[in-house]
Amino acid sequence: MHIEWSTFWIQLVAFLILYLLLSKFAFGPLFGMMEKRRQLVKDQIQTAETSRKQAEQLLEEQKQALQQTRKEAYDIIEQAKHTGSKQADDIIHAASAEANRLKDEALKDIENEKNKAVAALRSQVGAMSVLIASKIIEKQIDEKSQEELVEHYLKEVGGNV
């Protein structure tokens, strides 16, 4: 292979002139555009990373808010259960106290009625025993003997009641 030095130097000078022209008019704007594109991609990546971090932070905050809401709901339910249980116990206690009061009143009423009935019965028995005794003896008993007879009869009847 044979090199022509005259054409070599001309080609070299033409290449250098072409390179200088291209670097001034083409490479500068091209590299500038590429740098702008590189910066734009870098900014978009950084923005996407920031957005991802914010989304993760918001997701974590939402999870915590949901957890807090669940805890509050559980606490409200437990408090309602406790309050309901306490109210039920209070109602049962009040009802029991009222039932005991009514029972005591009923027992007192029964005792009073029993005493009234016993007193009425004593009065009737006393009158009947005097009548029976009068008919048996066919004479009138004085008041002191009548009272002794009634007491004696009540002791016998009272022991059987």
For the chain, what are the domain ranges?
31-157
Please report the pLDDT score of residue 106 as a whole number: 92
- Please give the backbone phi and psi of residue 141, each rounded to the nearest 5 degrees, phi first: -95, 145
Radius of gyration from C-alpha coordinates of the chain: 61
Please report the pLDDT score of residue 121 as a whole number: 80
- CA 30 and chain centroid, separation: 71
Q: Which residues in the chain land under pLDDT 50?
A: none
Please report the pLDDT score of residue 107 as a whole number: 92
pTM of the model: 0.42
Nearest Cα neighbor of 161 from 113, 122, 108 is: 122
CA distance 33 to 139: 152
Amino acid identity, position 5? W
Contact 141, 130 (CB under 8 A): yes
CA distance 144 to 138: 17
